[in-house]
Amino acid sequence: MTARTVLQPADITRALTRISHEILESNRGGENLIILGIPTRGVALAHRIGAILESIEPGSGRVGELDVTMYRDDLAGQPTRAPARTHIPAGGIDGTTVVLVDDVLYSGRTIRAALDALGDHGRPRAVRLAVLVDRGHRELPIRADFVGKNLPTSADERIRVRLTEIDGIEEVTIES
């Protein structure tokens, strides 16, 4: 197995900063914006994006967590998953623009589950998707609005995102 680093810590920070600006730009400011991270690493990324938004436009960085375990379509085929916490910021999501945040966009099934989960919490005005890495191979008609880096991969390669908060180190690698 060989691992190749594709994003260094500085690359990750730069990508998140750019995504944050793009979010504000597409939302025409920071109003009615909610950033929801998808566990596990999407939550850490959401909090970073929230902090950047806050620094640009105070009050715009409302962050929550959205667990999608109970909405997955592949529960039967895998060992039992322990669900993670869901936390929706006070005030709820009705009428807001929700930006879902995940580390890697691949088949699109996690995002499909997230859209279902979101629907059970209320009715946002719009839902956007931000990912650190888009590696292709989509199985559903889903695309990201904000992408840190597009990484064309083959299906047998593995993308690993490691973040300081969770893994103690900061890098994105491709293993094959």
Partner 1 sequence: MRHLLSTRDLSRDEAIQILDVAEDMADVANREVKKLPTLRGKTVINLFFEDSTRTRTSFELAAKRLSADLVNFSAKGSSVSKGESLKDTAQTLAAVGADAVVIRHASSGAPQTLATSGWIDAAVLNAGDGTHEHPTQALLDAFTMRRRLHGAASRGKSLDGLTVTIVGDILHSRVARSNVWLLDTLGATVRLVAPATLLPADISTWPVTAGFDLDDAVDADPDVVMMLRIQAERMHAAFFPNAREYSRQWGLGDERLARLRPDTMVMHPGPMNRGLEISANAADSSRSTVLEQVANGVSVRMAVLYLLLSGSAEL
Interaction site with partner 1 (CB under 8 A): 67, 70-71, 75-86, 116, 119-122
Using an 8 Å Cβ cutoff, are 101 and 141 in contact? no
**3-7/171-175 β-pairing:** antiparallel
Output the smallest distance, CB 75 to partner 1, in A.
4
CB of 12 to partner 1, least distance (A): 29
Output 3 or 75, the one with its CB closest to partner 1: 75
DSSP 88: P
In angstroms, what is the minimal distance from the CB of 163 to partner 1?
21
Between 25 and 120, whose beta carbon lies closer to partner 1?
Answer: 120
Closest to partner 1 by CB, 121 or 162: 121
Q: Which is nearer to partner 1, 11 or 116 (CB)?
A: 116
CA–CA separation, 57 and 67 (whole Å): 27
Least distance in angstroms from the C-beta of 5 to partner 1: 34
The string of DSSP letters for 53-86 reads HHHHSTT--EEEE---GGG-S-STTSSPPPP---
Residue 73's nearest CA partner among 25, 36, 108 is: 108
